[in-house]
Chain A
Amino acid sequence: MKITVVNMIPKSMSGETNQDSEPNLAVNPNNPLQIAATAFTPNPTGGAFAPIFISSDGGLTWALNAIVPGAVAGASTADITTKFGGTSNVLYGGIMRADNLDLNVLRTSNYASATPMTILETRGSEDQPWVQATTATGVSGSPDRVYIGNNDFNTAPKTATIDQSLNAATGAAPSGFGPITIASRTPSAAPAFAQGQNAPSIRPVIHPSGKIYAAYFNWTAFSLANMVTADVVVCRDDNWGSGGTPYTSLLDPAPPVGDGSAGVRVVRSTSIPWENSNFLGQERVGSHLSIAVDPNNSSRVFLAWADFPGGKAPYTIHLRSSVDGGATWSGDLRTVANGICPALAIDAIGNVGFLYQTLTGGGSTWETHIEISGNGFTSAPTPIVLATVPSGTPVATFLPYLGDYIYLTAIGETFYGVFSANNTPNMAHFPNGVTYLRNANFTTQTLLNVDNKTPVAVSIDPFFFSIAETVFPPIRPITVQPIKVIEPIKVIEPIRSIEPIKTVGPVQPVVPVEPIEPAKPLKPK
């Protein structure tokens, strides 16, 4: 197993001190050397376009490419996720624009080009677009199919929505994109707010067969103390979301066991604190959710969310699985106390990756862990600690401090992920190693500016990582160093001949010593 961790801030940005939180990642399945990533990172010089991170060498080096519309000087895009199509090399994005908070669906056929991304769709009153994409190679014409979970307040109280296109790679805007409400139940109104709604996290995931799963929270109450009562729901469509009644393939059990509605309630009436302030360390909580499907078994699904177990602290991540397409679910396979940002992925041979961040050391430390299980978490794997950093520094400039989400994906037998953390150049913070692209002195644990001299304050940076089961290093351009002049070899004196060792004769057996009679005392003369 080879673990690679890279601080993604490029060398030319060595002077930056931004809070680059809430990262997301897109690996091109057609060429995993091509990776795009996002975070709350503004364009340092302003201008009309915000940046994405790009890598063309499998994540070893990164650059910022300012191609996202709707930028505001000094501000980052409000929410942003991107994904590549399966074989098309097209990158899709879902953003909340910095200038007006509207949802934009974006597309570019060349993620590294300086040409701005094309706007395919615009809508106000939105939240948290979450992009997933693939190329439907089994469908005539191999179209790109894109599914963007989002919280669409225009359809309240049922706000859980997927904007999808069944042929997204080509065509003029909106290129087939349009919203589908996936919430089947009416979230209840409550004294604290008059409008029912779903939670911000709407998480679709695609199986190559055309099964689309989506997880979301069905809020049923919201107390004056900011405690949500919620169901954790998984719904499914079995034909790319294309039928007349999409996302209704998976039904809750019939009454009286369930309500028979579309979307199985994996957990009912759990308590989730909604705290948009420093709650865990300097981080907020309220809507953490992730889902993954096995690429080789469309019925094998893993789900993670966070809540207050039994209505009581600590805020805890739960991991569960289903082997029957979401109809029934296991009990907790793993729980992580004081955990946030669960992120799940399943690789090509069925290994399940479970990435999360957890506040440890009595609140002093944020740790980023990944657990990889080859047996579906029937036993608890030893967590791989990617980062263990102070939670109190730097002081947050905004929320989220680390992110409302991080991301994990798998291509083949390699897991790729991204998280944000304190960027102090201290090897002890990264037990599996780390590479910094920005200037840093690990001896003095000091970040340095582009002049490689001036100290730079600690901040939050995005970190890319990959974990390869089979170690094939990505192809990189080779820099040939000039050959140093080799000093002539000194003449060595000939070795003197060594006299042959004389043959030693066989050892003669030792004749046992005959016992000697004790000496008789001398008689006095």
Chain B
Amino acid sequence: MPSVHDLTQQAGFVFEAEVEQLGASTASGFPATSETAVVRVTKIFKGPASLAQFAGQRVTVVLQSPVSLKAGQSASFFTHGLHYGEGLVVREVGNVPPEATMDSQVNSAAQAGSDNDLTQRLAQADLVVTGVAGAPKKYVADPTAGPRRISEHDPDWWVSTIKVDSVEKGVHSGATKDILFPHSMDIAWHRSPKVKEGDRGTWLLHNRDQYSKSVPSHAVVHPLDFQPMAQLERVRALLKSGQ
């Protein structure tokens, strides 16, 4: 049986609920089957802001093992959204009996997941430095670097010079480091860090973007690639644990 930790990592919506009816559905567009159950949510442990008000609401769960639950029974469900209509239908990754400490267990697992994501991003980084950003300006591409492509999904590279305080990973000897970032607000790039003059923190620099495409020079591209100074000790601990 998977642990709460593993289930939390796999699930986007985790809640405690009481089973009201097996073989039923709250969504007219998602017919009831032997695998569906209607449950009433009593507590939400993890989920997006858009589902935060679902406590007290009825939800249809597509169960992995319907026979394991009975009407009137409560459980903690680890799920992903499947069908969002008049009613919400989720598919469970798994469920476990309710526990008083479930909230803290899920929070702990979610934090571990967050740490794991940052650890992976640190492992992929070619260079990690701390420092403060200078005023950004548009990056002028090297004319010999190859043809430029015009697309609404163009990252529109800008450059900022970081006054380096420390090198946390990789090799860099200068007092400053030029870093690129996607200035574009296009759907493909709006979540990337947008560097502003005076931003101080840890910079995770990569030679490839989040889509695994090469970039002209060291760049921050993923939302996790800039960590504020307050996260430095955490970054250092994760770097150490990831080695």
Residues of A within 8 A of B (CB): 10-13, 15-18, 22, 40, 43-47, 51, 54, 56, 61-66, 73-76, 78, 96, 99-101, 112, 114, 125, 127-128, 151, 153, 156, 193-195, 197, 200, 219, 222, 274, 276-277, 284, 286-287, 396-400, 404, 437, 449-451, 454, 477
Contact = CB atoms under 8 A, between A and B. Distances in A.
Contacts of A195: 147-149
A75 B223 CA distance: 12
Contacts of A73: 12
Contacts, number: 161
Given A45-B47, A195-B147, A400-B187, A54 B29 contact: yes
B53 A45 contact: no
B151 A127 contact: yes
Binding site of B, secondary structure by majority: helix, strand, loop or mixed? loop
Contacts of A47: 12, 80-81
Contacts of A200: 151-152
A100 B56 contact: no
A68 to B, nearest CB: 13
Contacts of B52: 15, 449
A46 B80 contact: yes
25 contacts: A11-B85, A12-B85, A12-B87, A16-B50, A17-B50, A45-B51, A66-B82, A66-B83, A75-B191, A114-B91, A125-B149, A153-B149, A193-B147, A193-B149, A194-B148, A195-B148, A197-B150, A200-B152, A219-B150, A286-B152, A287-B152, A398-B186, A398-B187, A399-B184, A449-B53
B141 to A, nearest CB: 9
Nearest to A404: B152
A46 B149 CA distance: 31
A399 B189 CA distance: 9
Main secondary structure of the interface of A (DSSP, over half): loop
B233 interface: no
A65 B81 CA distance: 9
Contacts of B104: none
A128 B84 CA distance: 27
Contacts of B156: 276
Contacts of A99: 211
B151 A15 contact: no
A222 B151 CA distance: 13
A101 B186 contact: no
A183 B188 CA distance: 26
Interface of B: 11-13, 27-30, 47-54, 56-57, 62, 79-88, 90-91, 143, 146-154, 156, 184-188, 190-191, 211-213
A128 B149 CA distance: 14
Given A45-B80, A114-B82, A156 B147 contact: yes
A112 B31 CA distance: 11
B66 to A, nearest CB: 16
Contacts of A451: 53, 56-57
Contact of A13 (B84, B150, B213): B84
A76 B187 contact: yes
Nearest to A286: B152
Contacts of B188: 78, 96, 101
The 5 closest A-B pairs by CB, nearest first: A195-B147, A63-B85, A45-B12, A398-B190, A46-B12
A113 to B, nearest CB: 10
B29 A56 contact: yes
A276 B152 contact: yes
Contact of A44 (B50, B151, B213): B50
Given A398-B190, A399-B187, A449-B53, A65 B150 contact: no
A423 B11 CA distance: 30
A44 B81 contact: yes
B53 A454 contact: yes
